[in-house]
Amino acid sequence: MPEAAMVDYDGLIPNNVGLSADPRLRRALESWHPRSLDWWRARGPEGFQDNLVYLRTAVSVEPEGWAKFGYVKMPEYRWGILLAPAVEGRRIGFGAHKGEPAWQEVPGEYRAMLRRLIVVQGDTEPASVEQQRRLGATAPSLYDLRNLFQVNVEEARHLWAMVYLLQKYFGRDGREEAEDLLRRRSGDQDSPRLLGAFNEATPDWLAFFMFTFFTDRDGKMQLHALAQSGFDPLSRTCRFMLTEEAHHMFVGQSGIGRIIERTCAAMRAAGITDPHDVERVRALGVIDLPTLQKRANLHFSLTLDLFGSEISTNAANAYNAGLKGRYEEDQIDDDHGLVGATYPVLRLKERRIVRENVAALSALNMRLRDDYVTDALSGVERWWNRVIQRAGYDYRLHLPHVAFNRRIGEFAAIEADPEGNILAAEEWQRRRGRWLPSADDDAFVASLMRPCREPGKFASWIAPPRAGIDGKPGDFEYVRLHA
């Protein structure tokens, strides 16, 4: 194994960044360590802290064999600092500095912009753990409970990844930002998390699966864009984070897929032919497809807000500076400078939605959002609609129009239905319950949230997975509830 792929497990903080040879940084991180543990205990998963959980831990950064599985108590998880191996002679791939050697130190002129990007990325990681902290009590199986905790410990590792960058490269203000990442709190009135969707509640498991499907997918897109960064330590960090992110996407995709599978099977067994027959479907103890559609509408629209405004000087500046690229920038065939190029953007003009060509540099948020929508659509078809189709029902789940239910960007000023027709405020108020979950819908989902803790058993509303984690059998005890 090449040296950079080896992880040093001897110290308090596993790493492949040569921490033992950097006493100043080691001290900073070691003093942050107990505070992060305090945060984990106070605001991480509620309960289960003394139970053994079958978790994977990164032990290498090579694509093959990077993780090992084993029983761990969560507070003893080895949160490590792991960067993908350096690419010899890597150069900046886009923007005004294209072709120059990638930066190994912070470029002074872009310091504030770079720090901001790292802080925003870092802020989302603990936020999601906080949002999900109460879900353990109602897990539909030990398999799902374990997946929740896997996602949580890895989001906490992603927090570590950003804290490493702040502490190593940004001196005193980096250390202060690292403290603030533990101080802000999801949903808090006085000190909320930075981005809107990370202050929303994740009240039940359907919300968790929707979040991992839609919002973790924003994580994937943003990490891809940051993985292109000319600031090499950020690029390497994000590349390794993406390795872990794949499982988070899987949890969301397969989680909703298993809910759909169970609903369709229950409808079929009861002889229900119309998926809109909500009362009868709910009486079977499964989640009706129209409710899934409403939840998808909600989570999709909340997540679109995370891309910022369609037209953004921040995004143009970050690209020009070589700090944040496009999705798969290195596979795009153009000049990677975008000077003079245009990109079609959906805009609001005199209360009409029109497509307009604008300077491609200012439209980078829109472009990333477009790539996201394409990716999410293919997930909906492959993981959700295929299951419905296979079960023989003539029903499809859709993604709403990008103007639906927005708080950021062009469409924040209007209300639109899921087809993108602009509505008067009263009409929106009157009809919104058709498209977004009502209090009744949420109460119904809440009524299903009863824990199922026997190995191999699953709650009424979700099918078992096709395969276990790490090849384990169906009745494997993923979380040991009794010592």
Q: Which residues bind ligand BYC (CB under 6 A)?
A: 117, 120-121, 124-125, 128, 155, 195-196, 215-216, 218-219, 222, 305-309, 312, 314-315, 324, 365, 408
Give CA–CA dist 287/279, Å, rounded. 10
Give CA–CA dist 234/70, Å, rounded. 29
Q: CA torsion sign, 222 to 54 to 135 to 180?
A: negative
**Which one, 26 or 224, has the nearer CB to ligand BYC?**
224
Q: Are 34 and 13 in contact (CB under 8 A)?
A: no
Of 150, 149, 176, the C-alpha closest to 163 is 176
**Which one, 231 or 458, has the nearer CB to ligand BYC?**
231
**First vs last C-alpha separation in the chain:** 37
CB-based contacts of 99: which residues, under 8 Å, 6+ apart?
91, 92
**Which one, 204 or 261, has the nearer CB to ligand BYC?**
204
Residue 196 C-beta: closest distance to ligand BYC, Å: 4
Angle, alpha carbons 10-11-13 (nearest 5°):
120
**Which one, 242 or 391, has the nearer CB to ligand BYC?**
242
Residue 171 C-beta: closest distance to ligand BYC, Å: 21
Exposed e or buried b for every residue in 180-207, given b needs 16+ CB within 10 A? Answer: ebbebbbeeeeebbbbebbbbebbbbbb
Ranked by CB distance to ligand BYC, the top (closest) residue is 308
Residue 216 C-beta: closest distance to ligand BYC, Å: 4
Exposed e or buried b for every residue in 444-465, given b needs 16+ CB within 10 A? Answer: bbeebbeebeebeebbebbbeb
**Which one, 275 or 308, has the nearer CB to ligand BYC?**
308
Beta strands in 254-325 (DSSP E): none
Q: State both tokens at 413.
A: 């000023």
Residue 323 C-beta: closest distance to ligand BYC, Å: 9
**Which one, 57 or 222, has the nearer CB to ligand BYC?**
222
**Which one, 51 or 121, has the nearer CB to ligand BYC?**
121
Give CA–CA dist 336/118, Å, rounded. 23
**Which one, 222 or 405, has the nearer CB to ligand BYC?**
222
- If phi over 0 gives left and psi between -120 and 50 gives alpha, with beta otherwise, what is residue 153? alpha
Residue 392 C-beta: closest distance to ligand BYC, Å: 34
104 to each of 20, 236, 355, how far by Cα in Å? 19, 11, 40
Residue 236 C-beta: closest distance to ligand BYC, Å: 16
**Which one, 238 or 463, has the nearer CB to ligand BYC?**
238
Q: Are 448 and 461 in contact (CB under 8 A)?
A: yes
**Which one, 92 or 366, has the nearer CB to ligand BYC?**
366
Residue 321 C-beta: closest distance to ligand BYC, Å: 12
The one-letter code for the residue type at 453 is R
Q: CA torsion sign, 167 to 170 to 171 to 175?
A: negative
Residue 39 C-beta: closest distance to ligand BYC, Å: 15
Residue 316 C-beta: closest distance to ligand BYC, Å: 8
Residue 418 C-beta: closest distance to ligand BYC, Å: 20
**Which one, 216 or 417, has the nearer CB to ligand BYC?**
216
Residue 414 C-beta: closest distance to ligand BYC, Å: 17
Q: State both tokens at 267.
A: 């409808």
* DSSP codes joined into one string, 133-193: TTGGGG-SSHHHHHHHHHHHHHHHHHHHHHHHHHHHHSHHHHHHHHHHHHH--TT-SSS--
**Which one, 60 or 314, has the nearer CB to ligand BYC?**
314
395 to each of 115, 289, 379, 392, 442, how far by Cα in Å? 46, 8, 16, 9, 22
Residue 199 C-beta: closest distance to ligand BYC, Å: 9
Give CA–CA dist 483/478, Å, rounded. 13
